[in-house]
Amino acid sequence: MDRFPIAVIIERRRLDNRWADEAWEAVGVVPAFDDTQPAMRQIVAETDCDQFRVGGFALELFRDEAANYFLNLSSPVPKVFVMWRMEGGVARPATVTASYGEAARLLDSGEQVDGVPMSREIADWVGAFVNRHYEPAPRKKIRRNDPLAQDRERP
């Protein structure tokens, strides 16, 4: 298992809508080698949106998820997936992953998950892990049914 310390950037947008006053969304992750505090700190304050930096997270990689990391890195825009929950009217990140499979499991269980673009530094780190641990499954030959085979004579 490898760990990469990160902080999550989460954004609150004010809405002019009769059903909702605001919308929350994870918009980024940044390396946080020097900041392991989980405190939520406001970094942008504008009239229509606020952004908060939440530290104390680590992107963890596991060998059994190497195929999912490979799929992520093979996509046009690799992502880090942030699962968050509303607590006391504020969105709080709960976990981060680079695995397509884990993100899909979280979404299937009804959690709120946002995919944010993966920085080059994180992508290089995940790529090094994939190079060490990913082994593609061997290809299996598939015998296709030949509809004309029964009409042919066998010698």
Task: Check pLDDT > 80 for residue 1.
Answer: no
Helix (H, G, I), strand (E, B) or coil at 128: helix
**Dist. CA 108–CA 114, nearest whole Å:** 13
Q: What is the pLDDT of residue 140?
A: 76
Average pLDDT across the chain, whole number: 88
Local structure of 63: helix, strand or coil: helix
Q: What's residue 67's pLDDT?
A: 94
pLDDT above 90: residue 153: no
DSSP, collapsed to helix, strand or coil, labels residue 76 as: coil
Dihedral angle, C-alpha 100, 132, 3, 11, nearest 10 °: -40
Confidence grade of residue 151 (pLDDT, cut at 50, 70, 90): low
Beta bridge partners of 115: 81
Q: Tens digits of per-residue pLDDT, 49-87?
A: 999 999 889 999 999 999 999 999 999 999 999 999 999
pTM: 0.83
Token pair for 10: 């989460």
Band of pLDDT at residue 150, cut at 50, 70 and 90: low
What's residue 92's pLDDT?
93
Higher-confidence residue: 124 or 40?
124
Is residue 60 within 8 Å of residue 1, measured between CB atoms? yes
| Contact predicate 33/95, CB 8 Å | no
What are the residue boundaries of the structural domains of the chain, listed by start? 2-134
On the CB side of 108, CA atoms within 13 Å amount to 6
Report the run of H or E that residue 143 belongs to, with start and end: none
Using CA atoms, how far apart are residues 100 and 53, in angstroms rounded to an integer?
Answer: 24
Average confidence (pLDDT) over 100-129: 95
